């Protein structure tokens, strides 16, 4: 059973990485994109996510809310904007149907996490995706994410220890680090998108020494990594002290 779970997590991480690689290949091609959405039939769907499907190939991941099947955005785009989606999350989604007869899905225009009131705009007023290349110098291609950080400043602390294991995000979640501290405690900390580590040539492997600055998210109770420092003294900043991502 554990082998199957590990394989599933590894496959999910591979797919997310592949989508991240594909976005570089697509950069600069936004001018030729056609939304193919019927924006005269925009609807709002609010409820609990009952299923999350991580897409294969070049398909977008999809979620199910109130039996509606909704395509969202590339996994890398969601994680880059620190917007995770899990089964059981309560979301409000504005979406439009496709103009293509072969496409029966709704396509999300905006996503709002009702737990922390964070809004992520996926498509512009013309239905064009925000992850197109050529929209500006920012890595997130002009994404609009509203809702400040939800980190409780009083919980910020720094601990050192050894990496017990790294758990790949299952689907539309970021990977987490399990740290065994010097006093023998195990602490699970959410890291951030994998590309931010790779972009800084910062590897994390079981058995390595690492120092983690982290705080607790008020909305979810999760430990969020703010900074990581490896045995060589190299530090990577992942989030600001209020919990907002530092990689955007």
Instruction: Return d(Cα 19, Cα 23) in angstroms, integer.
Output: 6
pTM over 0.85: no
> What is the domain range of residue 47?
2-146
Whether the pLDDT of residue 50 is over 60: the answer is yes
**In-domain check, residue 119:** yes
Higher pLDDT, 92 or 182: 92
DSSP 133: T
Instruction: Let me know whether 136 and 216 are in one domain.
Output: no
**In-domain check, residue 247:** no
Of 130, 146, 162, the residue at which a domain comes to its end is 146
Q: How far apart are the first and last CA of the chain?
A: 37
Task: Report residue 188's pLDDT band, with 50, 70 and 90 as the boundaries.
Answer: very high
> What ranges in the chain are assigned the alpha helix state H?
2-26, 75-80, 194-199
The CATH number given to whatever domain includes residue 162 is 2.40.50.140
Instruction: Let me know whether 132 and 179 are in one domain.
Output: no
The conformational region for residue 103 under phi > 0 = left, psi -120 to 50 = alpha, else beta, is: beta
Which residue pairs from 216-221 have beta carbons closer than 8 angstroms and sit at least 24 positions apart in sequence?
216/151, 216/152, 216/155, 217/150, 217/151, 217/152, 217/243, 218/150, 218/151, 218/152, 219/115, 219/116, 219/150, 220/115, 220/116, 220/150
Higher pLDDT, 137 or 211: 211
């Amino acid at each position: 059973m554990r082998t199957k779970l590990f394989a599933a997590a590894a496959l999910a991480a591979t797919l997310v990485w592949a989508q991240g690689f594909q976005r570089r290949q697509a950069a600069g091609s936004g001018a030729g994109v056609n939304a193919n959405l019927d924006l005269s039939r925009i609807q709002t769907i609010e409820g609990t996510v009952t299923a999350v499907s991580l897409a294969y190939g070049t398909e977008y991941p999809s979620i199910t809310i109130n039996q509606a099947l909704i395509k969202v955005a590339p996994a890398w785009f969601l994680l880059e904007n620190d917007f995770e989606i899990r089964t059981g999350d309560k979301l409000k989604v504005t979406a439009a149907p496709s103009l293509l007869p072969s496409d029966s899905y709704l396509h999300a225009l905006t996503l709002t996490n009702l737990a922390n009131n964070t809004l992520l705009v996926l498509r512009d007023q013309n239905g064009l995706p925000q992850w197109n290349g050529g929209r500006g110098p920012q890595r997130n291609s002009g994404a609009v994410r509203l809702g400040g950080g939800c980190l409780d400043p009083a919980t910020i602390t720094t601990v050192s220890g050894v990496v017990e294991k790294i758990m790949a995000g299952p689907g539309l979640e970021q990977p987490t680090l399990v740290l065994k501290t010097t006093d023998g405690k195990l602490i699970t900390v959410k890291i951030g998108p994998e590309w931010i580590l790779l972009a800084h040539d910062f590897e994390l492997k079981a058995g390595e020494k690492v120092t983690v600055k982290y705080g607790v998210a008020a909305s979810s109770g999760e430990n969020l990594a703010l900074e990581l420092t490896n045995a060589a003294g190299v530090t990577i900043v992942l989030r600001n002290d209020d919990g907002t991502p530092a990689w955007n």
